[in-house]
Amino acid sequence: MKDQTLFPLYNKRGLPETPQRLSQKSDDTPQPTHARRIYIETYGCQMNVSDSELMAGILTQNGHQTVTHIDDADVVLVNTCAIRENAETKVINRIKHLNHRKRRQPELIIGICGCMAQHLRDRLLDAAPYVDLVMGPDAYRNLPVALDSLTGGVEAYVSPKDRDPFLGLRLDRTEDYADIAPIRKDGIRAWLTIQRGCDKMCTFCIVPFVRGRERSLPLKLLVADVEKLVDQGFKEVVLLGQTVNSYHDNHSDFGDLLFAVGEVNGLERVRFTSPHPADATERMIDAMASSPTVCKHLHLPLQSGSTAVLERMRRTYTAEEYRTLVAKLRERIPNIALSTDIIVGFSGETDDEFRQTYQMMADIRYDSAFMFKYSEREGTLAHKALPDDVPETVKGQRLKQIIELQERISADINTDAVGDTVAVLVEGESRRDADRYHGKTDGFKTTVFPKANSRIGEVVNVRVDNTTAHTLIGQIV
Ligand code: SF4
Protein backbone atom coordinates (compact mmCIF):
# COMPACT_ATOMS: atom_id res chain seq x y z
CA MET A 1 0.00 0.00 0.00
CA LYS A 2 1.18 3.52 -0.81
CA ASP A 3 2.69 5.53 2.03
CA GLN A 4 0.15 8.32 2.09
CA THR A 5 1.88 10.26 4.83
CA LEU A 6 4.79 10.98 2.51
CA PHE A 7 3.06 10.81 -0.85
CA PRO A 8 -0.45 12.14 -1.38
CA LEU A 9 -2.34 10.07 -3.95
CA TYR A 10 -2.46 12.62 -6.74
CA ASN A 11 -0.61 15.80 -7.47
CA LYS A 12 -2.15 18.95 -8.89
CA ARG A 13 -1.70 17.71 -12.46
CA GLY A 14 -3.77 14.62 -11.74
CA LEU A 15 -0.65 12.45 -11.97
CA PRO A 16 -0.25 9.71 -9.39
CA GLU A 17 2.31 10.72 -6.74
CA THR A 18 4.70 7.86 -6.20
CA PRO A 19 8.23 7.70 -4.87
CA GLN A 20 9.35 6.65 -8.36
CA ARG A 21 10.28 8.88 -11.24
CA LEU A 22 8.71 7.88 -14.56
CA SER A 23 11.03 5.72 -16.64
CA GLN A 24 12.71 7.50 -19.54
CA LYS A 25 10.60 5.66 -22.10
CA SER A 26 7.73 3.28 -21.68
CA ASP A 27 4.84 1.86 -23.63
CA ASP A 28 2.89 4.87 -22.44
CA THR A 29 5.37 7.33 -23.94
CA PRO A 30 3.19 9.78 -25.89
CA GLN A 31 4.12 10.05 -29.55
CA PRO A 32 4.65 13.65 -30.65
CA THR A 33 3.11 14.69 -33.92
CA HIS A 34 6.63 15.17 -35.17
CA ALA A 35 9.66 13.87 -33.25
CA ARG A 36 12.40 16.48 -33.02
CA ARG A 37 16.18 16.28 -32.65
CA ILE A 38 17.13 18.67 -29.89
CA TYR A 39 20.48 20.13 -28.95
CA ILE A 40 20.63 21.67 -25.47
CA GLU A 41 23.35 24.21 -24.72
CA THR A 42 23.88 25.10 -21.07
CA TYR A 43 25.25 28.26 -19.44
CA GLY A 44 25.67 29.10 -15.76
CA CYS A 45 25.67 27.07 -12.60
CA GLN A 46 25.28 23.36 -11.80
CA MET A 47 21.59 23.96 -11.18
CA ASN A 48 21.29 24.81 -14.87
CA VAL A 49 23.24 21.69 -15.87
CA SER A 50 20.80 19.71 -13.76
CA ASP A 51 17.84 21.52 -15.38
CA SER A 52 19.17 20.68 -18.84
CA GLU A 53 19.21 17.00 -17.80
CA LEU A 54 15.62 17.44 -16.70
CA MET A 55 14.65 19.04 -20.03
CA ALA A 56 16.28 16.11 -21.84
CA GLY A 57 14.20 13.77 -19.63
CA ILE A 58 10.93 15.57 -20.43
CA LEU A 59 11.63 15.64 -24.17
CA THR A 60 12.70 11.99 -24.30
CA GLN A 61 9.68 10.89 -22.31
CA ASN A 62 7.61 12.54 -25.01
CA GLY A 63 9.27 10.75 -27.89
CA HIS A 64 11.82 13.40 -28.93
CA GLN A 65 15.54 12.77 -29.16
CA THR A 66 18.45 14.81 -27.80
CA VAL A 67 21.60 15.05 -29.90
CA THR A 68 25.17 15.82 -28.90
CA HIS A 69 26.11 17.84 -31.98
CA ILE A 70 24.36 21.02 -33.05
CA ASP A 71 24.63 20.14 -36.75
CA ASP A 72 22.30 17.18 -36.15
CA ALA A 73 19.61 19.33 -34.49
CA ASP A 74 16.39 20.86 -35.72
CA VAL A 75 15.80 22.50 -32.32
CA VAL A 76 18.44 24.37 -30.28
CA LEU A 77 17.55 25.16 -26.68
CA VAL A 78 19.88 27.57 -24.90
CA ASN A 79 19.58 27.16 -21.14
CA THR A 80 20.67 30.50 -19.74
CA CYS A 81 21.95 32.25 -16.62
CA ALA A 82 20.92 35.72 -15.39
CA ILE A 83 23.09 36.04 -12.32
CA ARG A 84 25.53 38.52 -13.86
CA GLU A 85 25.27 40.95 -16.70
CA ASN A 86 28.16 39.42 -18.63
CA ALA A 87 26.42 36.02 -18.52
CA GLU A 88 23.44 37.60 -20.30
CA THR A 89 25.64 39.43 -22.81
CA LYS A 90 27.36 36.16 -23.67
CA VAL A 91 24.00 34.50 -24.35
CA ILE A 92 22.75 37.42 -26.50
CA ASN A 93 25.89 37.07 -28.64
CA ARG A 94 25.35 33.34 -28.87
CA ILE A 95 21.74 33.79 -30.01
CA LYS A 96 22.87 36.23 -32.73
CA HIS A 97 25.27 33.57 -33.91
CA LEU A 98 22.45 31.00 -33.95
CA ASN A 99 20.46 33.34 -36.16
CA HIS A 100 23.17 32.99 -38.85
CA ARG A 101 22.58 29.25 -38.64
CA LYS A 102 18.84 29.81 -38.95
CA ARG A 103 19.33 31.72 -42.18
CA ARG A 104 20.90 28.58 -43.65
CA GLN A 105 18.38 26.29 -41.93
CA PRO A 106 15.06 28.22 -41.82
CA GLU A 107 13.13 25.41 -40.09
CA LEU A 108 15.51 25.54 -37.10
CA ILE A 109 13.70 26.30 -33.84
CA ILE A 110 15.67 28.46 -31.39
CA GLY A 111 14.53 28.40 -27.79
CA ILE A 112 15.82 30.44 -24.86
CA CYS A 113 15.20 28.73 -21.53
CA GLY A 114 16.16 29.25 -17.91
CA CYS A 115 16.84 32.26 -15.71
CA MET A 116 17.58 34.82 -18.44
CA ALA A 117 14.38 33.87 -20.28
CA GLN A 118 12.44 34.49 -17.06
CA HIS A 119 14.37 37.70 -16.31
CA LEU A 120 14.08 39.41 -19.70
CA ARG A 121 10.77 37.75 -20.61
CA ASP A 122 9.14 39.05 -23.81
CA ARG A 123 11.79 41.79 -24.09
CA LEU A 124 14.02 39.03 -25.40
CA LEU A 125 11.84 38.85 -28.49
CA ASP A 126 12.43 42.56 -29.15
CA ALA A 127 16.18 42.02 -28.91
CA ALA A 128 16.10 38.77 -30.88
CA PRO A 129 12.88 38.48 -32.94
CA TYR A 130 14.10 35.25 -34.56
CA VAL A 131 13.78 33.41 -31.22
CA ASP A 132 10.83 30.95 -31.35
CA LEU A 133 10.47 29.98 -27.73
CA VAL A 134 11.09 31.71 -24.39
CA MET A 135 10.66 29.47 -21.37
CA GLY A 136 11.39 29.96 -17.66
CA PRO A 137 12.58 27.29 -15.19
CA ASP A 138 9.09 26.31 -13.98
CA ALA A 139 7.62 25.72 -17.45
CA TYR A 140 9.80 22.93 -18.90
CA ARG A 141 6.89 20.50 -18.68
CA ASN A 142 5.42 22.48 -21.61
CA LEU A 143 8.38 21.90 -23.92
CA PRO A 144 6.72 19.10 -25.96
CA VAL A 145 3.51 21.16 -26.35
CA ALA A 146 5.57 24.18 -27.35
CA LEU A 147 7.45 22.28 -30.06
CA ASP A 148 4.21 20.91 -31.47
CA SER A 149 2.48 24.27 -31.44
CA LEU A 150 5.43 25.98 -33.14
CA THR A 151 5.42 23.66 -36.11
CA GLY A 152 1.80 22.51 -36.10
CA GLY A 153 3.17 18.96 -36.28
CA VAL A 154 3.17 17.05 -39.55
CA GLU A 155 -0.52 17.35 -40.36
CA ALA A 156 -1.00 21.06 -39.79
CA TYR A 157 2.39 22.32 -40.86
CA VAL A 158 3.21 25.91 -39.88
CA SER A 159 5.92 27.50 -41.98
CA PRO A 160 8.72 29.30 -40.08
CA LYS A 161 7.56 32.74 -41.26
CA ASP A 162 4.06 32.15 -39.82
CA ARG A 163 5.24 30.95 -36.43
CA ASP A 164 4.07 32.77 -33.33
CA PRO A 165 6.70 32.56 -30.60
CA PHE A 166 5.81 30.37 -27.62
CA LEU A 167 6.15 31.98 -24.18
CA GLY A 168 6.20 29.82 -21.04
CA LEU A 169 6.98 32.15 -18.16
CA ARG A 170 4.65 31.31 -15.32
CA LEU A 171 6.39 30.73 -12.00
CA ASP A 172 4.80 27.79 -10.23
CA ARG A 173 5.10 27.53 -6.44
CA THR A 174 4.62 23.77 -6.55
CA GLU A 175 6.49 22.62 -9.65
CA ASP A 176 9.25 20.25 -8.51
CA TYR A 177 9.44 17.86 -11.50
CA ALA A 178 9.31 14.99 -9.01
CA ASP A 179 7.89 12.62 -11.62
CA ILE A 180 10.51 13.36 -14.28
CA ALA A 181 13.63 11.21 -14.68
CA PRO A 182 16.53 13.44 -15.80
CA ILE A 183 18.87 12.11 -18.49
CA ARG A 184 22.48 12.32 -17.40
CA LYS A 185 25.75 11.71 -19.17
CA ASP A 186 27.58 8.69 -17.78
CA GLY A 187 30.30 9.57 -15.34
CA ILE A 188 31.51 9.41 -11.79
CA ARG A 189 29.67 12.42 -10.34
CA ALA A 190 25.92 13.02 -10.60
CA TRP A 191 24.07 16.21 -9.65
CA LEU A 192 20.74 15.78 -7.96
CA THR A 193 18.38 18.73 -7.46
CA ILE A 194 16.77 18.39 -4.04
CA GLN A 195 15.14 21.80 -3.88
CA ARG A 196 14.10 24.55 -6.30
CA GLY A 197 13.68 28.31 -5.80
CA CYS A 198 14.74 30.55 -2.94
CA ASP A 199 12.91 32.38 -0.15
CA LYS A 200 15.85 34.46 1.07
CA MET A 201 15.58 37.67 -1.01
CA CYS A 202 19.19 38.90 -0.79
CA THR A 203 19.03 42.41 -2.22
CA PHE A 204 21.66 41.85 -4.94
CA CYS A 205 20.20 38.61 -6.25
CA ILE A 206 17.83 37.93 -9.13
CA VAL A 207 17.28 34.25 -8.28
CA PRO A 208 14.05 34.56 -6.23
CA PHE A 209 12.49 36.51 -9.11
CA VAL A 210 13.46 34.05 -11.83
CA ARG A 211 13.25 30.76 -9.96
CA GLY A 212 10.38 31.50 -7.61
CA ARG A 213 9.69 30.26 -4.10
CA GLU A 214 11.48 27.43 -2.40
CA ARG A 215 10.18 23.85 -2.74
CA SER A 216 11.83 20.59 -1.65
CA LEU A 217 11.47 17.09 -3.07
CA PRO A 218 10.46 14.20 -0.75
CA LEU A 219 13.36 12.54 1.08
CA LYS A 220 12.17 9.06 0.16
CA LEU A 221 12.19 9.89 -3.56
CA LEU A 222 15.67 11.42 -3.32
CA VAL A 223 17.10 8.39 -1.53
CA ALA A 224 15.56 6.16 -4.22
CA ASP A 225 17.19 8.42 -6.85
CA VAL A 226 20.59 8.07 -5.21
CA GLU A 227 20.20 4.27 -5.08
CA LYS A 228 19.46 4.30 -8.82
CA LEU A 229 22.44 6.54 -9.52
CA VAL A 230 24.69 4.10 -7.67
CA ASP A 231 23.22 1.22 -9.73
CA GLN A 232 24.04 3.24 -12.87
CA GLY A 233 27.69 3.46 -11.78
CA PHE A 234 27.90 6.93 -10.24
CA LYS A 235 30.26 7.09 -7.25
CA GLU A 236 29.57 10.61 -6.04
CA VAL A 237 26.34 12.56 -5.75
CA VAL A 238 26.16 16.34 -5.35
CA LEU A 239 22.91 17.53 -3.77
CA LEU A 240 21.83 20.80 -5.36
CA GLY A 241 19.65 23.64 -4.18
CA GLN A 242 19.70 27.40 -4.21
CA THR A 243 19.94 27.32 -0.40
CA VAL A 244 20.44 23.58 -0.22
CA ASN A 245 20.51 23.32 3.56
CA SER A 246 17.13 24.97 4.03
CA TYR A 247 15.76 21.73 2.52
CA HIS A 248 12.61 20.56 4.27
CA ASP A 249 9.97 18.19 2.87
CA ASN A 250 7.54 18.73 5.78
CA HIS A 251 8.89 15.64 7.54
CA SER A 252 12.66 15.73 7.27
CA ASP A 253 15.31 18.43 7.19
CA PHE A 254 18.63 18.69 5.42
CA GLY A 255 20.54 16.91 8.20
CA ASP A 256 18.11 13.96 7.94
CA LEU A 257 18.63 13.87 4.18
CA LEU A 258 22.43 13.92 4.52
CA PHE A 259 22.32 11.03 6.99
CA ALA A 260 19.90 9.06 4.77
CA VAL A 261 21.87 9.60 1.54
CA GLY A 262 25.15 8.93 3.38
CA GLU A 263 23.88 5.44 4.19
CA VAL A 264 23.14 4.42 0.59
CA ASN A 265 25.12 1.27 -0.14
CA GLY A 266 27.85 1.62 -2.73
CA LEU A 267 27.94 5.44 -2.70
CA GLU A 268 31.49 6.69 -2.14
CA ARG A 269 30.83 10.38 -1.58
CA VAL A 270 28.06 12.91 -1.14
CA ARG A 271 28.55 16.68 -1.45
CA PHE A 272 26.13 19.57 -1.53
CA THR A 273 26.00 23.11 -2.84
CA SER A 274 25.26 25.89 -2.00
CA PRO A 275 24.36 26.14 1.65
CA HIS A 276 23.31 29.37 3.35
CA PRO A 277 25.20 30.21 6.58
CA ALA A 278 21.96 31.04 8.40
CA ASP A 279 20.61 27.52 7.72
CA ALA A 280 23.65 25.60 8.99
CA THR A 281 22.05 23.46 11.70
CA GLU A 282 23.62 21.24 14.35
CA ARG A 283 22.17 18.22 12.57
CA MET A 284 23.83 19.24 9.28
CA ILE A 285 27.15 19.61 11.09
CA ASP A 286 26.57 16.25 12.87
CA ALA A 287 26.04 14.56 9.50
CA MET A 288 29.19 16.14 8.07
CA ALA A 289 31.21 15.20 11.14
CA SER A 290 29.99 11.63 11.55
CA SER A 291 28.95 10.19 8.16
CA PRO A 292 32.05 8.85 6.39
CA THR A 293 30.36 9.34 3.01
CA VAL A 294 29.60 13.05 3.51
CA CYS A 295 32.60 15.04 2.26
CA LYS A 296 34.42 17.31 4.66
CA HIS A 297 34.12 20.27 2.34
CA LEU A 298 31.78 23.19 2.74
CA HIS A 299 31.21 25.98 0.26
CA LEU A 300 29.93 28.66 2.63
CA PRO A 301 29.15 31.94 0.82
CA LEU A 302 30.29 34.92 2.92
CA GLN A 303 29.67 37.73 0.38
CA SER A 304 31.06 40.42 2.71
CA GLY A 305 33.01 40.55 5.98
CA SER A 306 31.21 43.71 7.10
CA THR A 307 28.00 43.39 9.10
CA ALA A 308 26.77 46.73 7.72
CA VAL A 309 27.20 45.49 4.14
CA LEU A 310 25.62 42.14 5.03
CA GLU A 311 22.63 44.07 6.35
CA ARG A 312 22.33 46.04 3.13
CA MET A 313 22.58 42.73 1.28
CA ARG A 314 19.91 41.24 3.61
CA ARG A 315 22.06 38.17 4.17
CA THR A 316 20.40 37.52 7.57
CA TYR A 317 23.66 36.86 9.47
CA THR A 318 26.33 39.12 10.92
CA ALA A 319 30.07 38.90 10.34
CA GLU A 320 30.45 37.72 13.96
CA GLU A 321 27.83 34.98 13.56
CA TYR A 322 29.64 33.79 10.45
CA ARG A 323 32.98 33.68 12.31
CA THR A 324 31.33 31.72 15.15
CA LEU A 325 29.91 29.23 12.65
CA VAL A 326 33.33 28.71 11.04
CA ALA A 327 34.90 28.19 14.49
CA LYS A 328 32.24 25.60 15.34
CA LEU A 329 32.71 23.80 12.01
CA ARG A 330 36.48 23.63 12.52
CA GLU A 331 36.07 22.38 16.07
CA ARG A 332 33.65 19.61 15.03
CA ILE A 333 35.36 18.75 11.71
CA PRO A 334 39.05 19.65 12.16
CA ASN A 335 40.12 18.79 8.59
CA ILE A 336 37.22 20.58 6.90
CA ALA A 337 38.00 22.41 3.62
CA LEU A 338 36.18 25.73 3.24
CA SER A 339 35.43 27.75 0.14
CA THR A 340 33.32 30.85 -0.33
CA ASP A 341 31.79 33.54 -2.57
CA ILE A 342 32.73 37.20 -2.15
CA ILE A 343 31.24 40.32 -3.72
CA VAL A 344 33.27 43.56 -3.60
CA GLY A 345 31.94 47.02 -4.34
CA PHE A 346 28.36 46.44 -3.22
CA SER A 347 26.24 49.57 -2.78
CA GLY A 348 27.87 52.01 -0.35
CA GLU A 349 30.87 49.75 0.46
CA THR A 350 33.43 52.01 2.17
CA ASP A 351 37.19 51.40 2.35
CA ASP A 352 36.75 50.27 5.94
CA GLU A 353 33.93 47.88 5.08
CA PHE A 354 36.08 46.40 2.30
CA ARG A 355 39.01 46.05 4.75
CA GLN A 356 36.75 43.97 7.00
CA THR A 357 36.13 41.56 4.11
CA TYR A 358 39.85 41.40 3.37
CA GLN A 359 40.61 40.75 7.04
CA MET A 360 37.92 38.08 7.33
CA MET A 361 39.40 36.24 4.34
CA ALA A 362 42.90 36.54 5.81
CA ASP A 363 41.67 35.20 9.17
CA ILE A 364 39.51 32.34 7.91
CA ARG A 365 41.97 31.25 5.20
CA TYR A 366 39.58 29.63 2.74
CA ASP A 367 40.89 26.86 0.55
CA SER A 368 39.41 28.66 -2.43
CA ALA A 369 37.00 31.45 -3.29
CA PHE A 370 34.83 32.75 -6.12
CA MET A 371 35.29 36.51 -6.14
CA PHE A 372 33.29 39.08 -8.09
CA LYS A 373 32.75 42.80 -8.54
CA TYR A 374 29.19 43.79 -7.73
CA SER A 375 27.13 44.11 -10.89
CA GLU A 376 23.66 45.55 -10.46
CA ARG A 377 20.85 43.40 -11.84
CA GLU A 378 17.63 44.96 -13.00
CA GLY A 379 14.65 43.66 -11.05
CA THR A 380 16.52 43.06 -7.78
CA LEU A 381 15.74 44.85 -4.52
CA ALA A 382 19.13 46.60 -4.67
CA HIS A 383 18.37 47.89 -8.16
CA LYS A 384 15.20 49.48 -6.83
CA ALA A 385 16.52 50.90 -3.57
CA LEU A 386 20.33 51.00 -3.35
CA PRO A 387 22.63 53.00 -5.62
CA ASP A 388 25.41 51.17 -7.45
CA ASP A 389 27.78 53.90 -6.29
CA VAL A 390 31.22 52.35 -5.88
CA PRO A 391 33.30 53.44 -8.89
CA GLU A 392 34.32 50.66 -11.30
CA THR A 393 38.02 51.41 -10.76
CA VAL A 394 37.63 51.01 -6.99
CA LYS A 395 35.71 47.75 -7.46
CA GLY A 396 38.51 46.56 -9.75
CA GLN A 397 41.26 47.46 -7.24
CA ARG A 398 39.41 45.73 -4.40
CA LEU A 399 38.83 42.63 -6.47
CA LYS A 400 42.53 42.50 -7.41
CA GLN A 401 43.53 42.75 -3.74
CA ILE A 402 41.38 39.86 -2.59
CA ILE A 403 42.31 37.69 -5.58
CA GLU A 404 46.00 38.17 -4.73
CA LEU A 405 45.32 37.40 -1.08
CA GLN A 406 43.35 34.26 -1.90
CA GLU A 407 45.97 33.02 -4.39
CA ARG A 408 48.63 33.27 -1.66
CA ILE A 409 46.44 31.49 0.89
CA SER A 410 45.41 28.70 -1.52
CA ALA A 411 49.05 28.18 -2.53
CA ASP A 412 50.16 28.07 1.14
CA ILE A 413 47.44 25.59 2.11
CA ASN A 414 48.39 23.35 -0.79
CA THR A 415 52.11 23.60 0.01
CA ASP A 416 51.31 22.48 3.57
CA ALA A 417 49.77 19.33 2.06
CA VAL A 418 53.12 18.19 0.58
CA GLY A 419 54.02 14.85 2.17
CA ASP A 420 50.39 14.10 3.12
CA THR A 421 48.50 11.13 1.73
CA VAL A 422 45.06 12.05 0.38
CA ALA A 423 42.16 9.85 -0.77
CA VAL A 424 41.29 10.69 -4.39
CA LEU A 425 38.26 9.57 -6.36
CA VAL A 426 39.63 8.92 -9.87
CA GLU A 427 37.56 10.87 -12.43
CA GLY A 428 39.39 10.62 -15.74
CA GLU A 429 42.49 11.15 -17.80
CA SER A 430 44.43 14.35 -17.30
CA ARG A 431 43.89 16.73 -20.21
CA ARG A 432 47.59 17.54 -20.35
CA ASP A 433 49.07 14.08 -19.93
CA ALA A 434 47.53 10.81 -21.12
CA ASP A 435 49.70 8.87 -18.65
CA ARG A 436 48.01 10.55 -15.70
CA TYR A 437 44.62 10.56 -14.06
CA HIS A 438 42.92 13.41 -12.27
CA GLY A 439 40.43 13.29 -9.45
CA LYS A 440 39.23 15.14 -6.38
CA THR A 441 40.09 14.78 -2.73
CA ASP A 442 37.38 14.70 -0.11
CA GLY A 443 38.06 18.46 0.30
CA PHE A 444 37.43 19.00 -3.46
CA LYS A 445 41.07 19.61 -4.41
CA THR A 446 42.00 18.60 -7.93
CA THR A 447 44.79 16.03 -7.79
CA VAL A 448 46.89 14.70 -10.67
CA PHE A 449 48.96 11.50 -10.51
CA PRO A 450 50.42 8.76 -12.76
CA LYS A 451 47.78 6.15 -13.60
CA ALA A 452 49.75 3.15 -12.29
CA ASN A 453 47.15 0.36 -12.08
CA SER A 454 44.28 2.52 -10.89
CA ARG A 455 40.88 2.69 -12.55
CA ILE A 456 38.36 5.47 -13.10
CA GLY A 457 35.76 5.38 -10.34
CA GLU A 458 37.96 3.96 -7.61
CA VAL A 459 39.31 5.78 -4.59
CA VAL A 460 43.12 5.71 -4.41
CA ASN A 461 45.60 7.02 -1.86
CA VAL A 462 47.92 9.62 -3.34
CA ARG A 463 51.02 11.00 -1.63
CA VAL A 464 51.34 14.69 -2.43
CA ASP A 465 54.82 15.54 -3.81
CA ASN A 466 54.22 18.92 -5.36
CA THR A 467 51.53 21.58 -5.64
CA THR A 468 50.32 24.68 -7.45
CA ALA A 469 47.75 27.17 -6.07
CA HIS A 470 44.96 25.02 -7.48
CA THR A 471 46.28 21.47 -7.91
CA LEU A 472 47.95 18.73 -5.90
CA ILE A 473 50.44 16.54 -7.78
CA GLY A 474 51.54 13.16 -6.46
CA GLN A 475 51.94 9.39 -6.69
CA ILE A 476 49.66 6.52 -5.75
CA VAL A 477 50.92 4.80 -2.59
S1 SF4 B 1 20.23 32.92 -0.77
FE2 SF4 B 1 20.41 35.00 -1.55
S3 SF4 B 1 22.12 34.83 -3.03
FE4 SF4 B 1 21.40 32.74 -2.66
S5 SF4 B 1 19.89 32.37 -4.27
FE6 SF4 B 1 18.75 33.09 -2.49
S7 SF4 B 1 18.54 35.31 -2.77
FE8 SF4 B 1 20.17 34.59 -4.16
What digits encode the pLDDT tens for the residues 215-268? 999 999 999 999 999 999 999 999 999 999 999 999 999 999 999 999 999 999
199 Cβ below 6 A of ligand 1: no
Is 438 within a domain? yes
Residue 38: burial class (beta carbons within 10 Å; 0-12, 13-18, 19+): buried
Same domain (yes/no): 268, 310: no
Give how far the C-alpha of residue 309 lies from the chain's centroid of Cα atoms, to the nearest Å: 26
From first CA to last CA, the distance across the chain in angstroms is: 51
Say whether both 150 and 55 belong to one domain: yes
**Nearest ligand 1 atom, CA 199:** 6
DSSP class of residue 164 equals P
Pocket test for ligand 1, best of 81, 118, 202 (most atoms within 8 A of CB): 202
Q: Does ligand 1 lie within 6 Å of residue 197's CB atom?
A: no
Report the CATH number that the domain containing residue 112 is assigned in CATH.
3.40.50.12160
Q: How remote is the CA of residue 348 from the centroid of ligand 1, in Å?
A: 20
Burial 432-470 (b: 16+ CB within 10 A, else e): eeeeebbbbbbbbbbbbbebeebeebeebebebeebeee
Rounded to the nearest angstrom, the distance between the alpha carbon of 23 and the centre of ligand 1 is: 33
Q: Is residue 7 part of a domain?
A: no
With contact defined as beta carbons under 8 Å apart, do 237 and 202 qualify? no
Residues 71 and 162 occupy one common structural domain: yes
The response to whether residue 314 sits with its C-beta less than 6 Å from ligand 1 reads no
Whether residues 57 and 143 fall in one domain = yes
> Where does a domain end: 134, 168, 202?
168
276 CB near ligand 1 (under 6 Å): yes
Cβ 198 under 6 angstroms from ligand 1: yes
242 CA distance to ligand 1 middle (Å): 7
Could you tell me if residue 128 is inside a domain? yes
Give the residue among 145, 136, 279 at the shortest CA–CA distance from 212: 136
CB 61 within 8 A of CB 29: yes
Same structural domain, 405 and 443: no
**How do the pLDDT tens digits run along the chain, 477 residues long?**
323 223 333 333 333 344 466 544 455 555 555 789 999 999 998 999 999 999 999 999 999 999 999 999 999 999 998 888 888 888 889 999 999 999 999 999 999 999 999 998 878 888 888 999 999 999 999 999 999 888 776 556 666 777 788 999 999 989 999 999 999 988 999 999 999 999 999 999 999 999 999 999 999 999 999 999 999 999 999 999 999 999 999 999 999 999 999 999 999 999 999 999 999 999 999 999 999 999 999 999 999 999 999 999 999 999 999 999 999 999 999 999 999 999 999 999 999 999 999 999 999 999 999 999 999 999 999 999 999 999 999 999 999 999 999 999 999 999 999 999 999 999 999 998 999 999 999 999 999 999 999 999 999 999 999 998 799 999 999
Q: How far is the CA of 63 from the centre of ligand 1 (A)?
A: 36
Report how far ligand 1's centroid is from the alpha carbon of 243 (Å).
7
Q: What is the residue range of 229's domain?
A: 184-295
Whole-number Å distance between alpha carbons of 111 and 414: 44
Q: Measured from the CA of 198, which atom of ligand 1 is nearest?
A: 6
